């Protein structure tokens, strides 16, 4: 279990937000890309289990800390007990809501020494990201989401830009101006796997079924592979299809 000492705890708004973002990326991965593994680990027959997100973007299902009080606020206790008593999607949504609450409590635990303006800035940074609940339930509308009408709808590479009407335009090279425009237009597109913001210098691919977007590296798809894919299905949609 990663428990920071008081001296090594994040102190500035930027450090606290980086810690928050890392933990958030970890739990987003647990509840989306690694969801089958997460589900299997939450055996109702086991003791009280918690879902932890770590600053290095990893996740862990384990027992709560034994110290009282713990060094950090604890996640929801006993998430495994309700697993088989409700629909899988509803259970994951419930875990997501409690995890959102935990992430905020950790961030503002570290931010207890911040002044009023700093706390406000921290909350603004956090509030610019979709909640875990919104990611898991796909309720967060993506601003200016790329249209999936064109033939190249499965591919969003570092050379793809969108016009104001949402249609994709592909450019072979990006100059500095195009890079800035690309960052602006995709600013609120988030990876369905790790939850991180769009970055114009990375390869992305969109799922034709659920319409979520992913880092190529997160779903193990390279630009070369993408060129031969007529209809891309993300890991989650592929799993759903196989179970039907």
Closest CA to 142 of 130, 150, 152, 154: 130
Closest CA to 186 of 161, 169, 209: 161
Closest CA to 171 of 189, 190, 152, 188: 152
Distance (Å, whole) CA 36 – CA 30 = 9
Tens-place pLDDT, residues 60-84: 999 988 877 888 899 999 999 999 9
Full-model pTM: 0.56
> What is the DSSP secondary structure assignment for residue 160, as one 8-state letter?
E
Answer yes or no: are the C-beta atoms of 75 and 102 closer than 8 Å: yes
Tens-place pLDDT, residues 167-177: 333 333 334 44
Mean pLDDT, to the nearest integer, of 184-192? 64
Q: Is 131 exposed, middle or buried (0-12, 13-18, 19+ CB in 10 A)?
A: buried
Domains parsed from the chain with CATH numbers: 13-137 (no CATH), 189-243 (3.30.40.10)
Give the total residue count for the chain.
244
> What is the DSSP secondary structure assignment for residue 55, as one 8-state letter?
T
Tens-place pLDDT, residues 16-32: 999 999 999 999 999 99
Give me the percent of the chain exceeding a pLDDT of 70: 73
Give me the percent of the chain exceeding a pLDDT of 90: 45
């Amino acid at each position: 279990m990663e428990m920071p000492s008081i001296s090594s705890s994040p102190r500035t708004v930027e450090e606290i937000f980086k810690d928050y973002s890392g933990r958030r990326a970890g739990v987003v991965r647990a509840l989306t890309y690694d969801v089958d593994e997460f589900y299997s680990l939450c055996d109702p027959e086991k003791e009280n289990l918690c879902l932890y997100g770590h600053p290095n973007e990893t996740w862990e299902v384990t027992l709560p800390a034994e110290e009282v009080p713990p060094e950090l606020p604890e996640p929801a206790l006993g998430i495994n007990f309700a697993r088989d008593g409700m629909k899988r999607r509803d259970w994951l949504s419930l875990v997501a809501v409690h995890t959102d609450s935990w992430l905020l409590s950790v961030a503002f635990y570290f931010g207890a020494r911040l002044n009023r303006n700093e706390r406000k800035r921290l909350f603004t940074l956090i509030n610019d990201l979709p909640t875990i609940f919104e990611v898991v339930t796909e309720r967060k509308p993506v601003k200016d989401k790329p249209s999936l009408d064109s033939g190249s709808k499965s591919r969003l590479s570092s050379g793809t830009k969108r016009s104001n009407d949402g249609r994709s335009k592909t450019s072979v090279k990006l100059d500095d101006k195009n890079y800035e425009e690309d960052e602006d237009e995709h600013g609120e597109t988030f990876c369905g796997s790790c939850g991180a913001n769009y970055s114009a210098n990375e390869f992305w691919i969109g799922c034709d079924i659920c319409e979520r977007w992913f880092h190529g590296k997160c779903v193990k798809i390279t630009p070369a592979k993408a060129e031969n894919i007529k209809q891309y299905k993300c890991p989650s949609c592929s799993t759903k299809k196989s179970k039907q």
